[in-house]
Structure 1
């Protein structure tokens, strides 16, 4: 598994990532408490025409670090380090939830590197209501660690999935999902949630130069429409689209989510250098 070392604010980190496919660079940034496996459906959909790099952020998968507090800037530097190590000069950039705010941070601070930007379930800043939600997550995670319960896993489908999930599931299937979820959670989920609590991209959004898709979930209980409006207002060259799902659209509707992102990526122009390479 490829990996690269870098210095982040609290010490050293070694970022592991997958690299798949061929063509223009595409970097995928996962959400809170999961890992690069979140992107397998999208990777399978586009690997025939993109070189896909999917890193694990600190706290997830095979990435290791100092174990202390993290910042959004740390995660953005980890994503860039993986792209550099994979040999990507410029790249398309896609993020979900925490990955979306990380991607927006990277696109605003290194605009020359990012060719297009797709943000699903991202937000401009963590308001009081969102912070209360994240504090609730942390309380559930602490209770689970102390008592061996699965309170966070039981809450997650209620928070993350929209009506279509509940229409096609039953109590037994939902219980099966709840039982399986703790094995999926990244060990650093609480550390990543602390980053969620401190997001404020408002001073940076105007620096994004890449064409941007702000993809909202119609039934997102975590990130409201006001946050999508703030992203659209703050990012030049941004446009809006919506998917009929909850906050966790990549898990609720993997095929539909991948199709939405792939369609946006396929609209982006090919650089002259890539066109010449494809013609060879």
Structure 2
């Protein structure tokens, strides 16, 4: 697994990333509490035609750092460091949730590097209700740390998954939910609280107008964390943007990995085809 270094606001980081496939560059940015493993279904679907770079953000996976506070800018610097280390001058860029926020930040601060942008479950600014939810997450994590409970893992499916998941689960009985909670308890990144602190401070408003890449704003139809107003703000703020929707909750990469990967792969293939088309025929 390749590793590179990044300079962050409170110290350095050794950024681990996966490098897979061949073709135009594609950089994938995971969400809060996840790791680069979140992207395996999409990587498997496109590695035959894209060079895929998927870093672990600070607090996740094999990446190590100073252990202190993080910012969106810090995480964007880690993503760019991985792309640079992999030799990607320009690249397509996709992110989920916090990863989508980081991707949008990177696209706004380094527009010449980003060929296309796909944002799933992104948001422009953390509003009062979202901040209350993120603080609740932090309370749950602190309680779990003190008492050895699994309250945060029990909350996540209730927050993240949509009706189709629960319809499928109903036929499997209560054991299916308990199995999911156990799996999540073991998979939640050690730095999830640090990611959540970053979630609390998101404000992309100054940067949206600087994004020049063709952008897919991909929403989840049953997202109870990110409301429609946030998606409208992204579409209004990013000049070359369009909307699509997936029938899932906020956690679409886990709820419907194949469907999620298919949505993004179709957008990426379309963008590559558009780049190859002679300008006079567009």
TM-score normalised per structure 1: 0.96
Give the number of equivalent residue pairs: 274
Q: Secondary structure at the match of 2:216?
A: strand
The aligned counterpart of 1:278 is none
Match of 2:245 in 1: 242
By how many angstroms is 1:269 displaced? 3.4
Mapped partners of 1:265, 1:12: distance in 2 = 32
For 1:202 and 1:264, locate their aligned partners in 2 and report how far apart those are by CA, in whole Å: 25
Range with greater deviation from structure 2 (171-180 or 69-78): 171-180
**Shift of the alpha carbon at 1:62?**
0.6
Give the structure 1 partner of residue 86 of structure 2: 86
Describe the superposition over 1:13-60 as per-residue Cα deviations: whole angstroms up to 9, x where unpaired. 110000000000000000000100000000000000000000000000
* Corresponding residue number in structure 2 for 1:53: 53
Aligned match of 2:129: 129
4+ residue runs of structure 1 moved beyond 4 angstroms?
none
**Partners of 1:200 and 1:47 in 2: CA distance:** 33
Distance (whole Å) between structure 2 residues aligned to residue 108 and residue 79 of structure 1: 14
CA drift at 1:270: 5.5
Q: Unaligned regions of 5+ residues in structure 1, if any?
A: 276-280
Go from structure 1 to structure 2 and tell me whether the alpha carbon gap of 1:177 and 1:54 turns closer, same or farther (over 3 Å shift): same
Cα distance in 1, alignment partners of residues 193 and 160 from structure 2: 17
Partner Cα distance (2:272, 2:63) in 1: 33
Query: Could you say what secondary structure the match of 2:93 adopts?
Result: strand
- Offset from partner CA, 1:202-252 (integer Å, 9 cap, x none): 110000000000000000010000000010000110000000000000000
The SS at the match of 2:115 is strand
SS at match of 1:269: helix
Deviation at 1:99, TM superposition (A): 0.2
Distance in structure 1 (CA, Å) of the matches to 2:174 and 2:128: 33
SS of corresponding position for 1:258 = helix
* Partner SS state of residue 266, structure 1: helix
| 1:143 aligns to 2:161 (yes or no) | no
> RMSD over aligned Cα, in angstroms?
1.2
Q: CA deviation at 1:271?
A: 8.8
Partner of residue 39, structure 1 = 39
From 169, 190, 193, the equivalent of 1:187 is: 190
TM-score normalised over the length of structure 2: 0.95
Quick one: distance in 2 between partners of 1:60 and 1:258? 22
- For the residues of structure 2 that align with 1:78 and 1:142, how far apart are their CA atoms? 27
Give the Cα–Cα distance (whole angstroms) in 1 for the partners of residues 274 and 233 of structure 2: 30
Correspondence for 2:280: none
The answer to whether the aligner puts 1:203 opposite 2:187 as a matched pair is no
CA gap 1:86/1:130 in 2 versus in 1, 3 angstroms: same
Deviation per CA, 1:156-181, whole angstroms, max 9, x where unpaired? Answer: 10000000000000311011111221
Give 5+ residue unaligned stretches, structure 2. 278-282
